[in-house]
Amino acid sequence: MTGQSPDLITFGETMALFMTPEFRALEHSSALEHSFGGAESNVAIGAARLGSSVGWFGALGNDPFGTRILKAIRGEGVDVSRARLLAGEQTGLMFRESIAGKLAVHYYRKHSAASRMEPQHLDQAYIQGAKLLHVTGITAAISETARNTMLEAVRMAKEAGVTVCFDPNLRLKLWSAEEARRVLLPIAEEADYFLPGWDELQLLYDTDSEQDIMTRLAKLKAVSIVKGYNGSTLVLEQGSRTEVPFYPAEKVVDTVGAGDGFCAGFLSGLLRGRTAVDAVRIASICGSLVVQGRGDWEALPDWQSVERLLEDRAWVER
């Protein structure tokens, strides 16, 4: 897809992922499973599986990890024509383990190829030809040049009337809450859709007062999709508020990637012409299905699986 833009475009860092089998600790594991992961590419793959037209780009090292990642994302039906393999640079790595039953992630991404992204690498026509641009706070956190690249992409999108979706995806291993607050809150003010978690809002707004948080959200022009609010997802749109319960999971195997699956479902719902509330219903089903499998993106569902559960009338809303 070189002559036209996909409906949905996203970009960011994707890393090679190594996991211990059977949720062991790294210290006690003699083998590792090799995959990859990145919030934005996970979303791209999820949306593509749901039938959306999607493009992902970013910078990867021209190494075995980078080439494997690029081929795999392309193989999932995602346009990667604007992704770059950089000679002499390295693809970021992450390792996942389980310690006392809790997940731990270790990053080796400093000076990675993705951190070298610069605004001059953006294809303006590609971005401005899309319907939706999805960005996350992770890209803003990995380096100053990557941050500037994301800000410029948002500017390009807004200039052309492209809808902007922003997930803060706060990662305190990458930067402090104070620095994140300074950078991410202005992006939320530019977005058309804002997808924070309730815990993230408390950190970003530096308060646990529900009233204060709701007052701040009400000032945004964005439709706010607040995950994890009273065990549900809160949709705030033009003064109205709707709580959509999480779709129940029969079993929980691995919670990693649930947020990306949720986001993929939400964006695909919007591209299908659904309202924000109906798109959240789709998103909730996607998140539920993702936690029932292992891996960052492997358990992302297809549209047939989601549609079948969407018609489940036993899912009573409140």
Residues belonging to the active site = 260
152 contact partners, CB below 8 Å, separation of at least 6: 119, 122
Strand 102-108 with 54-57, pairing: unpaired
- Catalogue the E-assigned strands of 155-285: 163-167, 193-194, 223-229, 232-237, 240-245
Left (φ > 0), alpha (ψ -120 to 50) or beta: where does 23 sit?
left
CA angle (144 as vertex; 143, 148 as ends), nearest 5: 120
Is the Cβ–Cβ distance between 135 and 168 less than 8 Å? no
Burial of 153 (0-12, 13-18, 19+ CB in 10 A): buried
249 by DSSP, 3-state: which?
coil
Left (φ > 0), alpha (ψ -120 to 50) or beta: where does 24 sit?
beta
End-to-end CA distance of the chain: 43
Which run of H or E residues covers position 161? none
Is the Cβ–Cβ distance between 246 and 231 less than 8 Å? yes
